[in-house]
Amino acid sequence: MAQRGQASGMGHTHGVRFSGNADFDFEIRTTIGQAFSGAADIGEVLAAVQGVGEKDYEGWFRAWLDLGDRIAAQAEASAERGHAVSAASGYLRAASYYATAVNAVASLPSEDELLPTFRKHRQAWDRWVDLVDLGIERVAIPYEDTTMPGYLFRATGGGAGTHEGPRPVLVVVNGSDGALTSLWSSAVSGAVRRGYDALVFDGPGQQSMLFEHGVPFRPDWEAVLTPVVDFVLARPDVDADRLALYGISQAGYWVPRALAFEHRFAAAVADPGVVDVSTSWTEHLPGNMKKLLDEGEDEKFDRDMAMGMKFSHELASTWRFRARPYGTTGYAETMRAVLQYTVQEVAGRIATPLLITDPEHEQFWPGQSERLAALTPSVSTLARFTAAEGADFHVQPLARALTEQRMFDWLDERLGR
């Protein structure tokens, strides 16, 4: 979901700190924040990571992998004895813990554990899909010469008649490295309880499309979302006038970028707003390195970056993990690719009502929610979240219930529900 390896310097709500490593701390917050939707149990998480040192990257990865293995085994035991509700709960939590382990691979010396861990995550997720008492349909969304895998969740709430006629649909877009379990917690669980169907999918550069098929990110996300809209609106059970869009973390860029060109959504949420993705990369570059980029000295940039990476395996691993979705090779090539991810020049085309979350202490793209709102003043609503509410930091990790309340109340009002 968030940009790993970039959380240094973040503050801590009410003095609470779960780890001396800022990235570990944020991952713990993100995971336990999913407890309210059933995708984590706080005690087992805190017990699993207790004692992991600030620089113990192998121990960090193993803590999450072992927790996922243990909870998945418990879930399977429940399933074998016919306890479907307990099994579903266990598999959802295991999928969440495996997803955190996937991100933990970013700081390991190699990516050998990436695919096996991801496949454990997706297997646990699919076991939950099969066992949980929800209507969930696996779908394949046509995209260029292939398909994007997705899951369509059917509404469970929203009042009488919800299931009879066409229903509103919330299309949910992931960020740079989020898992499907995070989307359940950030938007889908709240959507289905309120009478929305909800669609999640892996797009270019995301999860299975990247790890198993090698399909990289692309900056023109309208080329991804337009086929998704075509797919959704081709269904007879969809209310075409009440199609909504939600994007989390780096999807705070994907969403406004797509909305500049795709105008069939009735309302959208960017959580948070991202105008220029590259700032989370460039702000950490020394001035002399920025100058090399500006002057087109790519060979010198690559040479100096390679030299710096030799002195920090942590930095080298993080760079490899973060650069992989862009489908690039050299350091300068990667930076030039990331610089394309901006909505500065196209935001004025957005005509869709847009809610933009704006958390205090945003650590990855500070100030960009306000920037996006300033670029789209006629359609945007800024929703501020504060430390006093326990709702600060990127995507409000410990305040997902509050986030859900504000965004769905806003969506309901925009869609006339």
- Are 238 and 193 part of one and the same domain? yes
- Are 301 and 241 part of one and the same domain? no
Tokens in use for 401?
């219930």
- Are 222 and 349 part of one and the same domain? yes
Listed residues 338, 357, 388: the one ending a domain: 338
Tokens in use for 176?
């740079």
Q: What is the model's pLDDT at position 93?
A: 98
Q: Mean of the per-residue pLDDT values for the chain?
A: 93
**By C-alpha distance, which of 248, 138, 240 is closest to 187?**
248
What's 87's domain CATH number? Answer: 1.20.1440.110
What's 391's domain CATH number? Answer: 3.40.50.1820
Tokens in use for 109?
């010396």
The pLDDT tens digits of the residues spanning 221-265 come to 999 999 999 999 999 999 999 999 999 999 999 999 999 999 999
Residue 232 host element (H or E): helix 222-233
Is 6 within a domain?
no
C-alpha distances (whole Å) from 288 to each of 131, 291, 300, 320, 367 are: 55, 5, 11, 22, 25
- 107 in helix, strand or coil? helix
Is 12 within a domain?
no
Listed residues 289, 306, 338: the one ending a domain: 338
Tell me, yes or no, if the pTM score tops 0.85: yes
DSSP 8-state class, residue 340: T
- Are 217 and 352 part of one and the same domain? yes
Residue 383, domain extent: 135-277+341-414
**By C-alpha distance, which of 291, 219, 321 is closest to 6?**
321
Query: How many CA atoms within 13 Å lie on the side-chain side of 297?
Result: 12
- Are 114 and 256 part of one and the same domain? no
Per DSSP, helices labelled H in 132-219 are 180-183, 189-193, 207-211
Listed residues 128, 162, 192: the one ending a domain: 128
C-alpha distances (whole Å) from 170 to each of 76, 125, 194, 327 are: 31, 20, 11, 29
Measured distance CA(404)–CA(246) in Å, rounded: 11
The pLDDT tens digits of the residues spanning 27-44 come to 999 999 999 999 999 999
The pLDDT tens digits of the residues spanning 52-108 come to 999 999 999 999 999 999 999 999 999 999 999 999 999 999 999 999 999 999 989
- Are 230 and 292 part of one and the same domain? no
Is 349 within a domain?
yes
- 307 compared with 5, residue with greater pLDDT: 307
- Are 214 and 322 part of one and the same domain? no
Taking residues 170-180, what's their average pLDDT?
A: 96
Which residues are CB-contacts of 288 (< 8 A; sequence separation ≥ 6)?
A: none
Total domain count for the chain? 3
- Are 157 and 39 part of one and the same domain? no
- Are 360 and 267 part of one and the same domain? yes
**Cβ contact 186:13 at 8 Å:** no
**By C-alpha distance, which of 168, 183, 321, 180 is closest to 248?**
183
Measured distance CA(385)–CA(417) in Å, rounded: 24
- Are 246 and 169 part of one and the same domain? yes
- pLDDT grade for 321, boundaries at 50, 70 and 90: confident
